[in-house]
Amino acid sequence: MSLSADEIVDIVDESNQVLRQERREIMRKERLLHRSTYIFARNSQGEYYVQKRTMLKDYCPGYYEVVAGGVVGAGETYAENADREAEEELGIPPSAGKKHLFTFLYQDERIRVFGDAWEVVWDGALTLQKEEVESVHPMTLEEVFIRVEAGDKFTPDSLYATRKYLDFLREKGEKSNGN
């Protein structure tokens, strides 16, 4: 199950070292620096599983999100969180072979987070977590940015992570469609 307002998360410093634990609600309210995973889940045709968030979410309810993932719980590793979140949100099992990509810092007026980016290719059935994911829309990253330009609301941190992901792929000589 995803973290609720009362669950405990690690609060980190600017070097991503754990300082203390705090309730998720306080972390959000005080904009405390924490950890989250960002999982770029796509099919073998290069379409990413873009999620529409439910209105129950404490951050950007009703927005689209390019990635699966979520806040890392106290004592949980990024890898454990990536496995848990991909399975909870989309039904992608840990055995699907997620690949770690990079870690980044993102800050805006609402959140401060160290994001850990992962990638997984999955052509199996998706099972959505109804409390968190309203629907999934397979689309290319080009289509994502067309929708952003058209005014669709995407979570700002997932767009930032997507731009970092595209930079990462360019540096590796890869394309976002997996070729």
pLDDT at 178: 57
Mean pLDDT of 49-66: 93
Mean pLDDT of 20-46: 97
pLDDT of 149 strictly over 80:
yes
Domain parsing of the chain, residue ranges: 8-172
48-53 and 99-107 as β-strands: parallel, antiparallel, unpaired?
A: unpaired
Question: In what helix (H) or strand (E) does residue 163 lie, and over which residues does it extend?
Answer: helix 156-172
pLDDT of 111 strictly over 80:
yes
pLDDT range class, residue 39, cuts 50, 70, 90: very high
Q: What is the CATH number of domain 8-172?
A: 3.90.79.10
**What's the rounded Cα separation, in Å, for the pair 47 and 119?**
12
pLDDT at 2: 46
CA 149 to chain centre: 21
